[in-house]
Amino acid sequence: MTSLRKILEYSRNFWSLGTVLIVGLLLILFFWYGVAGAHREFLQKNEELSIIAARRANVLQIKREHEGVNLLKKRLEQSFVTPDTIVSFIEFVESSGRDVGVAVVIGNVAETGDGQVFKITTEGSYSALINFLAHLENSPYLVKVAKVEFNQSFDAVSKTSTVRSTIDLKAANP
C-alpha cells in the first residue's frame, strides 16, 4: 500500500509539475504574443512618425524655397530702370565712371517700346573704359550695351592717349 501511495503521490506531483509547466508555457506564449503585437505597433508608429517628419521637412524646404523665390522676384523687380529708379540709375552710371577714372556725360534718353536707351559719352584711358563697361555689365540693373563707338586721340606733348566713346545703353522695361 505504501508503494501505491508513493506512486499516487509521484503521479500527483508529476501532474502538478506538468500543470505548472503548461500554465507557465501558456503565460510565456501569451506575453510573447503581446510583445510581438507591441513591437509591430511600435514599428508602424515609428514609420508614421518618419513620414510626418519627412512631410514637415518638405514643408520647411518649400517655405525656404518660396522665400528665396520671393527674394529673387524682389531683386528682379528692383533691377528694372523705371521712372522711379531712373535717377538712382543715372547716379550709379556716373559713380561707376568716377570709380574707374572715366568722365561720363549722359545725353539723350530715348524711350523705346521695350525700354529706354541712354546715350553716354565717356572720356578716359582704354583700360578705364573697359573697366567702366565691366561695371555696367555687373550692375544691379538689367542693362545691355547696344552700341559702342571708340575714338582715340594721342597728345604728342604729354605722350598720353585718350579714348572717347559713345555708348548706347539699353535698359529693359518690366
Q: Where are the domains of the chain?
A: 1-79, 86-172
Higher pLDDT, 1 or 2: 2
Q: Strands 160-172, 143-155: parallel, antiparallel or unpaired by DSSP?
A: antiparallel
pLDDT-above-90 percentage for the chain: 18
Distance between alpha carbon 109 and the CA centroid of its chain, in Å? 37
Q: Which CATH number fits domain 86-172: 3.40.50.150, 3.40.50.300, 3.40.50.970, 3.30.70.60?
A: 3.30.70.60
pLDDT of residue 123: 92
In this predicted model, what pLDDT tens digit does every residue of 99-113 receive, in sequence order? 999 999 988 787 777
pTM: 0.59
> Rg of the chain over CA atoms, in angstroms?
44
Q: Which three cell numbers stand for residue 160?
A: 598720353
Residue 172 is inside which H or E element, if any?
strand 160-172
Indicate the DSSP class of residue 54. Answer: H
